[in-house]
Amino acid sequence: QKEVEQDPGPLSVPEGAIVSLNCTYSNSAFQYFMWYRQYSRKGPELLMYTYSSGNKEDGRFTAQVDKSSKYISLFIRDSQPSDSATYLCAMSARNTNAGKSTFGDGTTLTVKP
């Protein structure tokens, strides 16, 4: 079983919908949680990161971490066609090099106009 499991999708929603993307993990040492967006044939780009439990908001994006349940989510409000991409969650432990994060396998999102 992988340390990080991500809903595989694909996910297709109409423009303007609220999108929920989720990951679960098994390693209780993970304390840093990241969300990356990867467009087709491009490299991942960091969207948001959070430390430990709680919520973090950035524009239309909200990242949520529940360490007690080992569950993280990314919410996208008012989704746009330009949000169509693969979303990767990633996690690292406190004393781990951030570049050595453990990634989920990604959820592919399509937002239809």
Partner 1 sequence: GAGVSQSPRYKVAKRGQDVALRCDPISGHVSLFWYQQALGQGPEFLTYFQNEAQLDKSGLPSDRFFAERPEGSVSTLKIQRTQQEDSAVYLCASSLVVQGPFLGNTIYFGEGSWLTVV
Q: Which residues bind partner 1 (CB under 8 A)?
A: 4, 6, 32, 34, 41-46, 49, 51, 88, 90, 92, 94-101, 103-106
CB of 79 to partner 1, least distance (A): 22
CB of 26 to partner 1, least distance (A): 15
Other C-beta atoms lying within 10 Å of the C-beta of residue 21 = 22
In the bound state with partner 1, the residue whose beta carbon lies nearer, of 5 and 17, is 5
Interacting residues of 9 by C-beta distance below 8 A, sequence separation 6+: 106, 107, 108, 109
In the bound state with partner 1, the residue whose beta carbon lies nearer, of 7 and 17, is 7
Other C-beta atoms lying within 10 Å of the C-beta of residue 2 = 12
In the bound state with partner 1, the residue whose beta carbon lies nearer, of 42 and 77, is 42
Sign of CA dihedral 89, 95, 97, 98: positive
**How far apart are alpha carbons 97 and 84 in whole angstroms?**
30
CB of 94 to partner 1, least distance (A): 5
